[in-house]
């Protein structure tokens, strides 16, 4: 271990070396700051979104039905953004029978909508406008602070539904005490009147609702004051199950333990006694106190944030590693001279690591300063018009330190090792006398040889020869661009293939006149929609699809994305592209009643029906004629026989079962989409208007023509593509800065060589042209390699994907051409910036 004087000497050497080469690493620091800034901004946007929806706030537990401390909560898994009412009420008895449970009760946590005037709540994302979460009235859970309790006692039947709102519910519903509002529920529109204002029973504070403290701090941060999870509508428990289309089912079960019971042991006993698909957690866990809708959205944002952080870290590591490797190579003689006067190998490596640490600290600090305002800009796109204030979290600071300092130190390990291996005798050898190679450089050699053979002029051949002479330097210039351009090409080709397949399935493979689609986060009852459409005379020309709250299991795998429909009706309006078997010719036969999860078995002749996509059939390992098991979240099972396989999944997904089979085990979920064949006596446009007016009570249920429906679904793919490209543009920007920095260092390294060219008669313009041509060759080849790799990867992925997902690869040549032009532009700009200082030196640089 170094003594203090030696350590100080190493630190001084590192600081002086960095100061002397500050101009050479400025682009590295800038590129690192950009990577850190984008990463910090991503975490900042996630934090703003969590603050907006209320996830993670101290009041979340109080807002979620006032779950008692020390309780254990049983709920359906959060598999989608729409809340699933999938916990069977009969499981209450099983929970109460578990040793250590003194009481168990069921509750609801469903989101429903409030119909708002046009233009209201412009500061809230569209999907969250008017969204409130239901809760059953109980004096143990809620306390009235103004008005009265929302019960049906002594109220005339047929009037408005009495409801109560908490502080968040007032804001989301844009209503207060005495107001009459229209609720948009799973069974349709319901007129309601606000008869009370409430707060959680355990919440201390003033009795006036005007003094209710904000669940989210709106002080120094300036963030949104009330989160979505804190928006509650409280309803009489006698009405709530029917209102939510949830008779016999619950959102969650809360188990109260016997005093002194260990929560972990009780949770383990409950897991062993209940179906494996249910999630069991203590009330102190976030999953127990967060509404599923909010939880899934927050988890999605967090996943995207960490993915982007990983990408930024990888590109930043390449940038720093390449720069330090070039700087170490340039300093071979300097390091060798220091070795001659007593510098040890360990000290040589530490000098490089200390320089990397200083670069990382500078990049992290600049990136944090850049990322904070970027996060505010990003949050303003999520919450248009919202007062998004300054927000700095420990995750943002941690991300800056990890990507800035941590990644830089990691990337410096190899250059530091090389520096420690420089022998003292290297002081007698010119720094650039030994040829340098690299993996990427060697891989580019065939392309460089081809470029030389096709070179039209001597200057181009000279530029190619210069690129071949130092393959490591050429590879370092190209690698960061290859990564960024390859990912962008992969996204462009994959999204183009998906868009083409989606367009074909919704327009060319359907004879429907109209589509109905659920948008948003609120469940919709399939029976209620069917009844409304049957009243309009379209019962025989209707194919509706419901989500299934469960999974389909076979010998070799499980399919979690399952839908339900009347299989005999599907081919009337949709060509799924049958690849085996056939659609049933008649309705499903009557099903024996075996709804009790603990009693009754399915007879051999009482077998249900299912159809699988080709990919799903391969996943579960079952073909036509084989049996699979449909299992609900609450553990009920039903055997189904596969009657057919198909290719087109855009409408029904990878697996579709008979609707009656899903209903038999209480696994029928929310209405998702329906195809409608409008009777000939109606005009399609008039029918669309009629449906739109009469289905208005359902939350965000939209009516589309086939062209509009296809465009909407293609638009979803386009939106995802644009978001991905925005994210990847940050990586490409870092790659461009890395290429520019490497080219600049290359010009500095070759300063004497370029001066000799000037001394023997080359003009400044010719020198600039030589460097520019070399940069264009390297960046052009990087673009070719990156684009080709991205396209090939996308084509292979599309080929291996299910045919219905993206049948044939589609290459967007125009978009890829723009990517290629961007690569050449990066090379030209980098060379122009790098040669500005070289031109000032002239022939004297040869000395």
Q: Which residue has the higher pLDDT, 63 or 17?
A: 17
Does the pTM surpass 0.85? The reply is no
Report the 10 Å Cβ neighbour count for 682.
Answer: 15
Q: Summarize pLDDT for 504-538 with one digit per residue, the tens.
A: 766 666 778 888 888 877 888 888 888 888 777 67
CB 31 within 8 A of CB 737: yes
Instruction: Read off the pLDDT band of 558 (50, 70, 90).
Output: very high
* Phi/psi of residue 109, nearest 5 degrees: -140, 30
Q: Summarize pLDDT for 11-30 with one digit per residue, the tens.
A: 777 777 767 666 667 777 87
Q: Summarize pLDDT for 734-766 with one digit per residue, the tens.
A: 667 767 767 776 776 667 777 777 777 777 777
Whole-angstrom distance, CA of residue 685 vs CA of residue 691: 10
Q: For residue 57, what pLDDT is reported? A: 44
Decide if pLDDT at 649 tops 50. Answer: yes
User: Which of 21-30, 133-142, 772-781 is the most confident on average?
Assistant: 133-142
Instruction: Read off the pLDDT band of 195 (50, 70, 90).
Output: very high
User: Which of 114-123, 343-352, 710-719, 737-746 is the most confident on average?
Assistant: 343-352
Instruction: Read off the pLDDT band of 439 (50, 70, 90).
Output: low
* Phi/psi of residue 197, nearest 5 degrees: -115, 130
Q: Summarize pLDDT for 299-339 with one digit per residue, the tens.
A: 656 666 666 667 777 777 777 777 777 777 767 777 778 77
Q: For residue 382, what pLDDT is reported? A: 54
Q: Summarize pLDDT for 625-645 with one digit per residue, the tens.
A: 999 999 998 889 999 999 999
CA angle (44, 47, 49) in 5-degree steps: 110
* Phi/psi of residue 342, nearest 5 degrees: 115, 0
Sign of CA dihedral 342, 347, 348, 351: negative
In eight-state DSSP terms, residue 635 is S
Instruction: Read off the pLDDT band of 206 (50, 70, 90).
Output: very low
> What would the mean pLDDT of 418-430 be, rounded to a whole number?
71
Give the distance from CA 700 to its chain's centroid: 23
* Phi/psi of residue 753, nearest 5 degrees: -60, -45
DSSP 210-241: GGPPPSS--SSS---SS-GGG-EEEE-TTTHH
Give the range among 122-126, 555-559, 686-690 with minimum mean pLDDT. Answer: 122-126
Decide if pLDDT at 121 tops 50. Answer: yes
Percent of the chain whose pLDDT exceeds 70: 71
pLDDT, averaged across the chain: 76
Q: Summarize pLDDT for 143-194 with one digit per residue, the tens.
A: 899 999 998 876 666 688 999 999 888 888 889 999 999 999 999 889 999 9
Q: For residue 229, what pLDDT is reported? A: 56
In eight-state DSSP terms, residue 160 is P
User: Which of 293-297, 419-423, 549-553, 756-760 is the most confident on average?
Assistant: 549-553
Whole-angstrom distance, CA of residue 229 vs CA of residue 294: 7
Give the range among 22-26, 136-140, 416-420 with minimum mean pLDDT. Answer: 22-26
Decide if pLDDT at 846 tops 70. Answer: no
> What would the mean pLDDT of 188-210 be, rounded to a whole number?
71
* Phi/psi of residue 191, nearest 5 degrees: -80, 130
Decide if pLDDT at 418 tops 60. Answer: yes
Q: For residue 644, what pLDDT is reported? A: 93
Percent of the chain whose pLDDT exceeds 90: 10
């Amino acid at each position: 271990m170094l003594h203090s004087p030696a350590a100080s000497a190493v630190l001084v050497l590192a600081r002086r070396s960095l100061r002397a080469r500050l101009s050479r690493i400025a682009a590295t620091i800038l590129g690192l700051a950009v990577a850190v800034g984008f990463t910090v901004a991503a975490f900042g946007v996630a934090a703003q979104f969590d603050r907006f929806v209320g996830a993670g706030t101290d009041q979340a537990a109080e807002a979620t039905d006032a779950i008692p401390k020390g309780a254990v909560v049983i709920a359906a898994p959060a598999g989608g953004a729409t809340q699933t009412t999938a916990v069977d009420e009969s499981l209450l008895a099983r929970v109460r029978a578990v040793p250590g449970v003194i009481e168990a009760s069921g509750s609801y946590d469903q989101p429903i909508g409030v119909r708002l005037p046009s233009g209201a709540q412009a500061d809230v994302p569209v999907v969250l406008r008017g969204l409130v979460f239901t809760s059953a009235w109980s004096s143990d859970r809620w306390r009235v602070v103004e008005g009265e309790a929302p019960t049906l006692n002594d109220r005339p039947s047929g009037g408005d539904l009495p409801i109560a709102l908490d502080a968040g519910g007032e804001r989301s519903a844009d209503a207060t005490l005495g107001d009459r509002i229209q609720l948009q529920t799973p069974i349709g529109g319901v007129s309601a009147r606000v008869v009370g204002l409430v707060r959680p029973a355990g919440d201390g504070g003033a009795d006036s609702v005007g003094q209710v403290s904000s669940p989210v701090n709106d002080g120094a941060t300036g963030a949104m004051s009330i989160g979505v999870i804190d928006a509650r509508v409280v309803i009489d428990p006698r009405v709530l199950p029917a209102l939510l289309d949830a008779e016999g089912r619950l959102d969650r079960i809360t188990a109260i333990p016997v005093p002194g019971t260990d929560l972990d042991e009780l949770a383990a006993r409950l897991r062993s006694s209940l179906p494996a698909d249910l999630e069991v957690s203590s009330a102190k866990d976030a999953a127990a106190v967060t509404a599923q809708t909010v939880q899934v959205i927050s988890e999605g944002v967090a996943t995207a944030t960490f993915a982007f952080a990983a990408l930024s870290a990888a590109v930043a590591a390449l940038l720093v590693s390449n720069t330090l490797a070039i700087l170490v190579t340039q300093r071979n003689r300097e390091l060798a001279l220091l070795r001659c006067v007593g510098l040890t190998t360990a000290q040589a490596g530490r000098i490089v690591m200390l320089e990397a640490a200083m670069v990382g600290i500078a990049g992290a600090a600049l990136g944090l300063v850049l990322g904070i305002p970027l996060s505010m800009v990003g949050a303003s796109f999520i919450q248009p018009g919202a007062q998004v204030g300054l927000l700095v979290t420990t995750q943002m600071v941690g991300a800056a330190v990890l990507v800035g300092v941590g990644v830089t130190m990691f990337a410096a390990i190899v250059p530091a090792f090389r520096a420690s291996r420089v022998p003292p005798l290297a002081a007698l050898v010119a720094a650039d006398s030994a040829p340098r190679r690299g993996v990427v450089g060697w891989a580019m050699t065939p392309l460089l040889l081809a470029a030389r053979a096709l070179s039209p002029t001597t200057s181009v051949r000279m530029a190619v020869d210069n690129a071949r002479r130092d393959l490591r330097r050429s590879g370092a210039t190209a690698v960061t661009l290859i990564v960024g351009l390859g990912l962008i090409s992969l996204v462009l080709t994959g999204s183009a293939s998906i868009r083409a397949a989606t367009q074909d399935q919704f327009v060319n493979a359907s004879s429907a006149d109209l589509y109905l689609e659920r948008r948003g986060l609120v469940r919709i009852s399939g029976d209620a929609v069917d009844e409304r459409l049957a009243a309009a005379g379209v019962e025989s020309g209707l194919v509706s699809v419901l989500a299934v709250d469960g999974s389909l299991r076979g010998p070799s795998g499980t399919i979690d994305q399952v839908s339900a429909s009347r299989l005999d009706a599907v081919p009337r309006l949709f060509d799924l592209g049958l690849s085996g078997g056939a659609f049933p010719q008649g309705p499903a036969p009557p099903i024996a009643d075996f709804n009790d999860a603990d009693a009754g078995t399915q007879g051999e002749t009482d077998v249900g029906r299912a159809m699988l996509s080709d990919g799903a059939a391969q996943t579960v390992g079952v073909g036509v004629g084989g049996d699979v098991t449909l299992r609900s979240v609450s553990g009920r099972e039903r055997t189904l026989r596969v009657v057919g396989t198909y290719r087109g999944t855009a409408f029904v997904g990878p697996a579709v079962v008979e609707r009656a089979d899903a209903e038999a085990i209480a696994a029928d979920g929310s209405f998702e989409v329906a195809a409608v064949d409008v009777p000939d006596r109606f005009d399609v446009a008039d029918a669309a208007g009629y449906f739109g007016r009469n289905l208005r009570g359902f939350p965000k249920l939209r009516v589309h023509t086939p062209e509009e429906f296809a465009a909407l679904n293609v638009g979803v793919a386009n939106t995802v593509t644009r978001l991905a490209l925005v994210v990847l543009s940050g990586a490409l920007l870092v790659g461009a800065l890395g290429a520019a920095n490497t080219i600049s260092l290359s010009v500095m390294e070759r300063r004497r060589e370029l001066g000799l060219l000037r001394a023997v008669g080359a003009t400044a313009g010719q020198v600039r042209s030589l460097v520019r041509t070399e940069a264009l060759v390297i960046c052009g080849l990087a673009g070719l390699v990156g684009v080709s790799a991205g396209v090939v990867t996308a084509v292979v992925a599309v080929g291996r994907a299910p045919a219905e997902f993206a049948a044939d690869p589609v290459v967007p040549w125009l978009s890829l051409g723009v990517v290629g032009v961007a690569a050449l532009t990066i090379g030209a700009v980098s060379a122009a910036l790098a040669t500005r200082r070289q031109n000032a030196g002239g022939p004297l640089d040869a000395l």
